[in-house]
Amino acid sequence: MALERIAAIPALRERIRDARHQGLAVGCVPTMGALHSGHTALLDRARSECDVLVATLFVNPLQFDRKDDLRTYPRDMETDLRECARHGVDILFAPTAEDMYPREPVTTVEIEGLASGLCGASRPGHFRGVATVVLKLLNIVQPDFACFGEKDYQQLAIVRRLVEDTDLPVRIVGVETVREPDGLALSSRNALLSPAERAAAPAIYKALRSARRAIGAGQADAASILAKARDALRREPLIRLDYLEIVDPESLAPVCRITGPVRIAAAAFLGATRLIDNVSADPPEGR
Ligand code: PAF
């Protein structure tokens, strides 16, 4: 099937209705474009489980807490169309801001608790914007399932809870983070790094990995594990740490004593570019 590009919501709905009438399974990968191998891993995963693959491409103004971040967010429609075609996307739903928000929305989705820590603490309103647009996109596309990357772990946890709380009939599939050979998690924002910042950036994953190793070796005191990992990052002159935390994988609440599976998550600025990453960690068996 050739890639079809649709901007208008009614046209997309009609196309999906046709697919449903034929009994076809619809998969969805929501994106903000500037597609890289992290996104194409999501497309490949979704492609393998559905008949009609819809990718959405919308740089959602509602989720940007900084105007300059929205302005400089990488955009590359030509590459995105090529990658969508190459990875078997049937429909690219790429609405304009007017298509998505013809009026200033007075209905938004507020996520309590889950959205208040980690990235939520330093990006006020970000997850309100994410949850609102994801709910809209899932309502518009009405897929059987939708894929989200584990790199945005807090977003994934929030989307899972949003779907549960609002009884949306969609399965949320989390897909493992794709990394550069030096460990840096793929992100559209990596393109904004200077060569020196790019060289420093893998230190984030290195710090996460050393914390994971400590947990795997049986260290249980989160504060001392975090202190070491934060110190390692503070020694990198080009990195300004936003947070590095050990949290419960579901509630995202900070964990003090590690007795079960946890998520270690970090965010850091390199110049004006903010990068995030996370890993899972398990204490030794029998703890
Ligand atoms: O992860 C993203 O690219 C965005 O936050 C999403 C889920 C497409 C919502 O705008």
Q: Domains of the chain by range and CATH?
A: 4-175 (3.40.50.620), 188-278 (3.30.1300.10)
Is the CB of 281 within 6 Å of ligand 1?
Answer: no
Is the CB of 109 within 6 Å of ligand 1?
Answer: no
Nearest CA to ligand 1 atom 5: 130
Contact 273, 239 (CB under 8 A): no
Nearest CA to ligand 1 atom 6: 31
The yes-or-no answer on residue 21 being catalytic is: no
- Whether the pLDDT of residue 287 is over 70: the answer is no
**Tens of pLDDT along 179-230?**
999 999 999 999 999 999 999 999 999 999 999 999 999 999 999 999 999 9
Angle between helices 203-216 and 222-234 (to 10 degrees): 160
pLDDT at residue 122 in the model: 92
**Tens of pLDDT along 113-125?**
999 999 999 999 9
Mutate to test the pocket of ligand 1, among 29, 58, 133, 190 (most ligand atoms within 8 A of CB): 133
**Atom number in ligand 1 closest to CA 137:** 9
DSSP-derived letter for residue 119 is H
pTM value? Answer: 0.96
**Tens of pLDDT along 127-166?**
999 999 999 999 999 999 999 999 999 999 999 999 999 9
Contact 239, 233 (CB under 8 A): yes
User: Residue 149 to residues 115, 226, 285: CA-CA distances in angstroms?
Assistant: 17, 24, 27
